[in-house]
C-alpha cells in the first residue's frame, strides 16, 4: 500500500509539465476533442468553451494565460436540463446520442460580473446558463474556483443555431447573437432586472445562396462588426459590416488550407481573440477522427483594408508551430497526461458522464464508487458510464478497479467509448468474475439505436479483488482514410505486468457521431441492481 502511494507520487512528479521557457505554440493546441470552440479574453485570461452533445456535465470551459497551454476549469451546463428528460437521463428506453449541446457560445458581461452560456438544443429552444464571475474583471479575468456557480435561466423560444453571443464593448446592455445556417440572422437581446435575456429584435442579415455557412461568431474591431462563419468543414469566411444589421460584405479567410496535420481535415470554424497588447489569434479546429475535432491556433493580422489574414507557414499552410502568443509566468494545469485518484470530494472537470448520471448511484470515498444504475444488456443504455477525453496522438488509459462487490450478472470495465465501441472488463457469473475483452458494440449511424450489444472476443482468468484495466489508443488522425487506428486492451493484477487480451480493435473514422473516442469506466447489471465497483485511480500516459 505504502509502496503504491510512493509510486503514484513519483509518477505525478515525473509527469510532463509545461516547459519552463516555452517559446512556441505547437499545433494542435490541445490534442483532445474540444470542438465548436468559442474563445474570448478578460484581462490576461483567455477562455475557451466547447460542445459536448449528450455528455454531462456539458460545455466545458478551459482557460489559458498564453493561448498555448490550457486547463479545464468548469462546465457551463452542470447537467443537461433539456427535454425530454428521459432521453437526456438515459431512462425509460430513451437516449439522446448526438443531440444536446452543439456549437454554443459563452461570454462575460463586465457590468454585472456574469458569465452567460447559451446554446440551441435539438433545433428548438435556446437554453441559457449563467455563473457569477467572482470579480473576474478586477482580477485580470481570473475567477476563484469556488466562485463558479452555474444556474439555468429562462429559455428563449427561438433556436439560435450555432450561436455567437456578443456584449457590445462600450455598452454591454447592447447584446447581440449572430446565428443560423446559410441564412445568417442577428438577434438583439436585452438583459432584464433578473439578469435574464429577452429577444427584442431579430432579422436575417446575410444569405449565402452559393454555399452552406454556419458556426457564427460576432466581433467588433475599430467600430466595425465581423461575423465569423464556416463552410463546414473546410473553409472559413468573414462577413464585415458597419452595423450588426448589415449590410455585410464577405471575404474568404482560409479555404482548404494545408496542414498542420495530415489526414486531419482543414482548419475551420472556431473564433478569434486578441491579446492585452492588441495582437490577434484565430483558433479553429480540425476533423481529426478517430480522435474527434481538435483545436489549432494561428496568428491573425489585419490588412490596411481592414480584412483579416491568417499567418501561414513557409509552405503557405497552417503552421505546425508559431511563436508563443503571450509570455507569462502564470501557469496552468495543462490538459494531457495525468493521474486521478478521485480525491478532493468532487469529480475533476476533465470527466463527463455519458448522458446525465443517476446521482444516487455514484459517490467519492477513497475512490469513485460506481453502483450499478441500470439493468440492461446494452452498455449504450446503461447509466453512469464516466468518460475522459483521450490525449493524442498515442496514449493509454489505465483504470485500477476493485471488483470485489460485483454481483451475479454485473458487467464493469474500461471502455473505448463511441458509437463503435469495445471494452476490457469483468463479467460476473455466479461467484466468478471473469476478465473479458468485448468488441462489436455498435450504434446505427443516424438513428443511434443499438445494433449490437457486443461479442466476447476473448476471456482471461477470473479475478477477486483489484484489477488494472488498460486501453492503449492510437488516435493519430486518419480522417478520410480507410486506416483503422489500433487499440490494444490489457489487464494486470499487480499494476506492473500487463497481459494483452483479445484482438486489436480498429477504430472508426466516421464524423457522424461527432464526438471522438473516449476512455470510459462503467458498471451495469444484467440481472438486478445492488452490486458496485470502486475505481481507485485513472492514469492517462503518453506512449
Ligand X SMILES: *[C@@H]1O[C@H](CO)[C@@H](O)[C@H](O)[C@H]1NC(C)=O
Write out the residues near ligand X by the rule CB under 6 A: 79, 85, 89, 91, 326-327, 356-357, 359
- Residue with grid cell 490541445, as numbered in its chain: 30
Minimum Å gap between C-beta 374 and ligand X is: 13
DSSP secondary structure letters along 162-221: T-EEEE-TT-TT-EEEEE-SSEEEEEEEEE-TTS-EEEEEEEEEEE-SSS--EEEEEEEE
78 versus 454: smaller Cβ distance to ligand X: 78
Minimum Å gap between C-beta 83 and ligand X is: 9
79 versus 167: smaller Cβ distance to ligand X: 79
Minimum Å gap between C-beta 88 and ligand X is: 7
- Residue 283: which of 17, 34, 535 has the closest Cα? 34
Minimum Å gap between C-beta 369 and ligand X is: 17
3-state SS, 527-540, equals CCCCCEEEEEEEEE
Q: How far apart are CA 139 and CA 161, in angstroms?
A: 33
Minimum Å gap between C-beta 216 and ligand X is: 29
Q: Which H helix or E strand runs over 89?
A: helix 85-89
Q: How far apart are CA 412 and CA 409, in angstroms?
A: 10
Minimum Å gap between C-beta 11 and ligand X is: 32
On whether the CB atoms of residues 198 and 192 are closer than 8 A, the answer is: yes
373 versus 421: smaller Cβ distance to ligand X: 373
385 versus 490: smaller Cβ distance to ligand X: 385
Minimum Å gap between C-beta 89 and ligand X is: 4
326 versus 390: smaller Cβ distance to ligand X: 326
Q: How far apart are CA 535 and CA 341, in angstroms?
A: 8
Q: How far apart are CA 184 and CA 218, in angstroms?
A: 11
DSSP type of residue 329: S
94 versus 434: smaller Cβ distance to ligand X: 94
- Collapsed DSSP state (helix, strand, coil) of residue 136: helix
23 versus 170: smaller Cβ distance to ligand X: 23
Amino acid at each position: 500500500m505504502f509502496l503504491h502511494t510512493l509510486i503514484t507520487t513519483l509518477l505525478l512528479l515525473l509527469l510532463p509539465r509545461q516547459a519552463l521557457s516555452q517559446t512556441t505554440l505547437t499545433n494542435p493546441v490541445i490534442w483532445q476533442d474540444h470542438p465548436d470552440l468559442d474563445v474570448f479574453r478578460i484581462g490576461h485570461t483567455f477562455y475557451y468553451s466547447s460542445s459536448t452533445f449528450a455528455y454531462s456535465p456539458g460545455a466545458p470551459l478551459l482557460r489559458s494565460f498564453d493561448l498555448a497551454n490550457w486547463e479545464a476549469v468548469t462546465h457551463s451546463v452542470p447537467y443537461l436540463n433539456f427535454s425530454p428528460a428521459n432521453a437526456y437521463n438515459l431512462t425509460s428506453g430513451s437516449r439522446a446520442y448526438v443531440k444536446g449541446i452543439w456549437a454554443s457560445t459563452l461570454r462575460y458581461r463586465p457590468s454585472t460580473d456574469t458569465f452567460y452560456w447559451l446554446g440551441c438544443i435539438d433545433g428548438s429552444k435556446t437554453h441559457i446558463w449563467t455563473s457569477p464571475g467572482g470579480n473576474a474583471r478586477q482580477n485580470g479575468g481570473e475567477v476563484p474556483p469556488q466562485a463558479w456557480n452555474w444556474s439555468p435561466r429562462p429559455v428563449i423560444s427561438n433556436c439560435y443555431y450555432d450561436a455567437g453571443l456578443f456584449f457590445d464593448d462600450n455598452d454591454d446592455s447592447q447584446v447581440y447573437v449572430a446565428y443560423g445556417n446559410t441564412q445568417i440572422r442577428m438577434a438583439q437581446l436585452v438583459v432584464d432586472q433578473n439578469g435574464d435575456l429577452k429577444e427584442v429584435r431579430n432579422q436575417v442579415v446575410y444569405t449565402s445562396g452559393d454555399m452552406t455557412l454556419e458556426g457564427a461568431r460576432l466581433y467588433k474591431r475599430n467600430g466595425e462588426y465581423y461575423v465569423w462563419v464556416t463552410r463546414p468543414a473546410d473553409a472559413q469566411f468573414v462577413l464585415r459590416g458597419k452595423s450588426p444589421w448589415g449590410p455585410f460584405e464577405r471575404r474568404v479567410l482560409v479555404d482548404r488550407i494545408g496542414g498542420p496535420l495530415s489526414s486531419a481535415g482543414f482548419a475551420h470554424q472556431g473564433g478569434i481573440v486578441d491579446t492585452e497588447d492588441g495582437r490577434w489569434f484565430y483558433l479553429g479546429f480540425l476533423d481529426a477522427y478517430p480522435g474527434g475535432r481538435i483545436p489549432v491556433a494561428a496568428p491573425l493580422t489585419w490588412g490596411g483594408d481592414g480584412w483579416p489574414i491568417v499567418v501561414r507557414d513557409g509552405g503557405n499552410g497552417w503552421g505546425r508551430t508559431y511563436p508563443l502568443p503571450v509570455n507569462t509566468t502564470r501557469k496552468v494545469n495543462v490538459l494531457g497526461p495525468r493521474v486521478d485518484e478521485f480525491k478532493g470530494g468532487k469529480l475533476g472537470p476533465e470527466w463527463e458522464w455519458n448522458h446525465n448520471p443517476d446521482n444516487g448511484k455514484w459517490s467519492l470515498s477513497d475512490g469513485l464508487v460506481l453502483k450499478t444504475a441500470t439493468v440492461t444488456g446494452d452498455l449504450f443504455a446503461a447509466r453512469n458510464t464516466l468518460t475522459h477525453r483521450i490525449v493524442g496522438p498515442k496514449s493509454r488509459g489505465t483504470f485500477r478497479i476493485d471488483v470485489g462487490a460485483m454481483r451475479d450478472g454485473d458487467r464493469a470495465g474500461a471502455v473505448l467509448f463511441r458509437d463503435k465501441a469495445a471494452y476490457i472488463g469483468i463479467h460476473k457469473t455466479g461467484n466468478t468474475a471473469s476478465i473479458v475483452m468485448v468488441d462489436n458494440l455498435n450504434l446505427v449511424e443516424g438513428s443511434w439505436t443499438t445494433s449490437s450489444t457486443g461479442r466476447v472476443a476473448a476471456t482471461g482468468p477470473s479475478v477477486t479483488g483489484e484489477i488494472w484495466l488498460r486501453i492503449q489508443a492510437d488516435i493519430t488522425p486518419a480522417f478520410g482514410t480507410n486506416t483503422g487506428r489500433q487499440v490494444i486492451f490489457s489487464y494486470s493484477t499487480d499494476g506492473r505486468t500487463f497481459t494483452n487480451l483479445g484482438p486489436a480493435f480498429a477504430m472508426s473514422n466516421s464524423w457522424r457521431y461527432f464526438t471522438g473516442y473516449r476512455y470510459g469506466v462503467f458498471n451495469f447489471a444484467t440481472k438486478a441492481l445492488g452490486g458496485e465497483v470502486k475505481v481507485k485511480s485513472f492514469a492517462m500516459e503518453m506512449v
